[in-house]
Amino acid sequence: MTAPSIAEASRTPGAGAGSAGSRYLRHRWVGFSLRRLGGLLLSFAVLVTVTFLIVPLIPGDPAVIAAGEGANPAQIAAVRAELGLDLPLLTQFLNYASGVLRLDMGASFISGESVSALIFTRFPFTAEIALLAIVLVLAIAVPLGMAVAILTRGGRNRWLDAGFNFVTSLIYSVPQYVVATLLVVVFAVTLRWFPAAGAATLNSLVLPTAALMLGPACVISRIVRRETAAVLEKDYIRTAHGWRLSVLRTNARYVLPNLVTTTLTLSGLILAAQLGGAVVIETVFAWPGLGQGIVNAILQRDYPVIRGIILVLGLLATLIIILVDLILAIIDPRNLGGTTYDV
């Protein structure tokens, strides 16, 4: 037998299949990355365009506010020219878009402060309560949902199931600003346990974080309960019980991993939504984050600040969703897309 024939004989069919499967998986990662990059660029373009177009729809003339009380028409016209509001709309848009691409979102009409600097100053406060809220949501909602599903399995403890559904539905149905107001009245004004407003101490975190997390915790706990109940009816769970594995080990090894995809997806969406929901919470608690910043900017018709904050919040929400997609794809490559997964 010649050398080439020996080499060919030594090759196993599985080696070629594995190589082809690896190439296929790499191609799917390339496609996944390109789709997410394209989605990010499209979202960026839409955000830049929409933020530019909708802000001037706010009633009121920013030049009048920036000029101050008692300004005459000539002074107002001079301020309008200084702010660039007298330029054609297309020119204003091109100036705005080119500035964003250079990471320069302009200066505040009112204070003259750089919008980028203002955002960097306020963003940590918003991130603080948003991240703390989502961590507490997961720490409370996942164990709670699993516990209710386990305790009510097979129709047991119907009172617990009914009470859980009633309480979570009630809390979730109450608007966030009402929840925030009730928390202030009860825990800040009546009991005086926590500050009613501001961010001076660690105690100041408690009420805004609680107001931000209660609704999402109810949603995730209900979904985790439903998913856990479905998993508990699977054959492999019955097999695990047949092996006399402990309840804790069975749930940790077989139930919890099946909740990762759903819980992670919801957590990403909720965290993205928290950035927008923080506007209401920060206003109620006078929390010095981006939410309070955009409310103040709207009241003052401060176009650059409004546009900058909306753009940053929109991009952060998009990046969070893309990050969740990436993590899910790493955990299970079937999430890369496509109809088959042959490796």
Cα distances from 187 to residues 127, 192, 208, 282, in angstroms, run 24, 6, 12, 17
* Total Cβ atoms within 10 A of residue 21: 14
Q: Give the H/E segment covering residue 331.
A: helix 303-331
**DSSP state at residue 193:** -
pLDDT at 237: 66
pLDDT at 20: 56
Q: Where are the domains of the chain?
A: 119-299
pLDDT at 337: 64
Closest to 61 in 3D by CA, of 75, 51, 46: 75
- pTM for this model (two decimals): 0.75
pLDDT in tens, the chain (343 residues): 444 444 444 444 444 445 555 565 567 777 777 888 888 889 889 989 988 888 888 787 778 777 777 777 787 788 788 878 878 888 888 988 988 888 888 888 888 888 988 999 998 888 888 888 888 988 998 889 888 888 887 778 888 889 988 999 988 888 888 888 899 899 988 988 888 887 777 888 889 999 988 888 998 889 888 888 887 777 666 676 667 766 667 766 667 777 777 777 777 777 777 777 778 888 888 888 888 888 888 888 888 899 999 898 888 888 888 888 887 777 767 666 643 333 3
d(CA 129, CA 63): 35
pLDDT at 35: 83
Domain 119-299, CATH among 1.10.3720.10, 3.30.70.2190, 2.60.120.560, 1.10.10.10: 1.10.3720.10
pLDDT at 166: 92
- Residue 114 has phi, psi (to 5 degrees) of -60, 135
* Total Cβ atoms within 10 A of residue 269: 16
Task: Find where tokens 């999402």 sit.
Answer: 216
- Residue 193 has phi, psi (to 5 degrees) of -80, -35
3-state secondary structure 214-277: HHHHHHHHHHHHHHHHHHHCCHHHHHHHHCCCCHHHHHHHHHHHHHHHHHHHHHHHHHHHHHHH
With beta carbons less than 8 A apart as the criterion, state whether 213 and 137 touch. yes
